[in-house]
Structure 1
Amino acid sequence: MSTTDQGATPTGTADREIVISRVIDAPAELVFEAFTAVHHLSRWWGPEGFTTTTRSFEFRADGEWDFVMHGPDGTDYSEWITWTEITPPARIAFRHGESRDDPNTFETVIAFDSDGDATRVEMRTVFPTREQRDEAVEKYHAVDGGTQTLANLASYVGGLSPRE
């Protein structure tokens, strides 16, 4: 099940955020683990039809992931993430942009909540301005892309066994 919510939140960022969630049929530890190693991320990260090439990867607080997403039309998108918080297996926070010096970076928090044998993953992204959020939605199809990314994650972890 997948849901998207751009409604009001108590943080006062509703007009600048995108919230996407999905219940994944796997334990939180396994879903969280899919974020911890580049060999996992490269197999599911991104919307349908995209592939990922990693230049460097350090999964730790203040570590960075420098990568290129290759679109199905052949377009390459330089991407950069710095992890700002890692709380296994419950939460990951990061800043995301085109590069370390990108003035338009945005912040994402991913929460992993156990739901019996499943995990509810909520991805909350906050942009610096409403206009940047709107551009991400309209020009880059961020809601559809985020929904597809979580679907790819669900499919990927469905084929994993713990500590693979």
Structure 2
Amino acid sequence: MSDTASERELVVTRVFDAPRELVFECWTDPDHLAKWWGPTGFTALSVTVDATGGGAWRTCIRDTADGTDYWAGGVYLEIVAPERLVFSFSWDPQGDQPVEDTLVTVTFADRDGKTEMTFHQAGFVSDPSRDGHEDGWRQSFADLAGYLAGGAR
């Protein structure tokens, strides 16, 4: 595999059995985000959101196995409710890990009362970073599906 930026992009498409307004809200309301944000084995300890153009977001997730906290944040660049979110995403530095400033675009399409969500993240510094994020996001989206199925309102 050659080492190009386009190959370091992540795209995940998933259909949720919930209206897109609710799925969109689960991305922009801190109370909703706290219920599903983070991969399996992590708990969202802190979620702050200013879901306005230019507004900031910040989260802290804790690895329940070893107690390590991981902080991430960014800025909302575009918000078109309930269709599209664009925001920057960056983990706080940990040790000698390079800081990655990635760009996330999430689109929400109505599919007869269900929501097709397309998640796109670009700007990874390495293939292993992209692949690790893919695992984490897929687990988070499984948690989001469970949260929605459990009666999120």
Corresponding residue for 1:135? 128
How far apart, CA to CA, are the structure 1 residues paired with 2:103 and 2:20?
Answer: 22
CA RMSD of aligned residues (A): 2.2
How far is 1:118 from its partner? 0.9
> How far does the alpha carbon of each residue in 1:92-114 deviate from its partner, in whole angstroms, 9 at most, with x for none?
11001125xx9521000001111
For the 8 Å contact 1:16–1:133, the answer to whether it is kept is: yes
> How far does the alpha carbon of each residue in 1:45-89 deviate from its partner, in whole angstroms, 9 at most, with x for none?
111121112264311111111221111322211111211111011
Matches within 5 A, 1:1-164: 14-54=6-46, 56-73=48-65, 74-99=67-92, 104-127=100-123, 132-138=125-131, 141-160=132-151, 164=153
How far apart, CA to CA, are the structure 1 residues paired with 2:113 and 2:48?
Answer: 33
SS in 2 for 1:59: coil
For the 8 Å contact 2:59–2:71, the answer to whether it is kept is: yes
Structure 2: gaps (5+ residues): 93-97
The runs of at least 4 consecutive aligned structure 1 residues that moved more than 3 Å come to none
SS in 1 for 2:28: coil
TM-score by length of 2: 0.84
How far is 1:16 from its partner? 2.2
User: How many residues are matched?
Assistant: 145
Identity of aligned residues (%): 31
